[in-house]
Structure 1
Amino acid sequence: MNPTFVETDIKTETGSYDLEADVRRIGDDLLVAIWGGEKPHIGAVAVAQPRPSLKTPETTSATASVFCFPSHKEDELVKGVSEVLSAVLGAKVVVTAGIHWDNLSEKGIR
């Protein structure tokens, strides 16, 4: 067996509320870790797999299952990212995220 393993690091550089991501292609699948802020951590995990769209079966969509630790809010982020990547790549995708800034405003969250 000749496994395929490719790793890429991504970082935003806006100067405020920057995020980092580690993206690993493991065979046909994708593993993504997203973090940022003053206290990076694991707050939520999503696992997605591609499937035919319910509305248009000839189009690929994806379904995700999400685990979010209590009092964390990364669930929407990991679900959205995992479903988009899974549908576009036609692969199983796992995304984890943990982002925390103290006293973050509503504007900062967006």
Structure 2
Amino acid sequence: MHDLTIEKGRIKINLKAILIGNDLCIIISGGDSPHIGSVTLSIPRPSLSDFKKRSATTSILNLVGHKDDEAARYVSHAISSKLNKNVVTTCGIHIDNITAEEITIIMDILKELTNMLLSKLSN
């Protein structure tokens, strides 16, 4: 299992990744009230625009009233495409009175965590 955390200001995001055979399960949580807000499944496939490249098809289940789907989709899709693995991601980040700037910071943190995980799993 890989357990990664990044904290910037009042935003703290944790990513756990568990290999299940050749598949990967990722749990992203953080903020004032971690929860399950969205679940994604990414399945690797050849890119539709260039069959020499790999992409993924990502399906999303979102709980009503939650906006974690963009974050979960980004991580799931990126990792599935790069590692050629089926990836399930659950994501729940809640920060009271979040600002637009903090939403941008969350996505930057998730990109950093994704790159960290890719580096660890590519070795």
Task: Flag whether TM exceeds 0.5 (same fold).
Answer: yes
Residues 1:35 and 2:29 aligned together: yes
Q: Percent identity?
A: 39
| Equivalence for 2:16 | 22
Gaps of 5+ in 2: 105-123
Cα distance in 2 for residues equivalent to 1:13 and 1:79: 21
Residues 1:98 and 2:98 aligned together: no
* Partner amino acid, structure 2, of 1:108: E
Superposition misfits of 4+ residues, deviation over 4 angstroms: none
Aligned to 2:78, the other structure's residue is in SS state helix
Aligned to 1:103, the other structure's residue is in SS state coil
TM-score of the superposed pair, with normalisation by structure 1: 0.91
| Equivalence for 2:4 | 10
Structure with the larger helix share: 2
How big is each residue's C-alpha offset from its partner over 1:41-97, in whole Å with a ceiling of 9 and x where there is no partner?
A: 000000000000001001111010000101100001111111110010101000010
TM-score of the superposed pair, with normalisation by structure 2: 0.82
Compare CA radii of gyration and give the structure with the larger one. Answer: 1
Offset at 1:15?
3.7
| Equivalence for 1:107 | 101
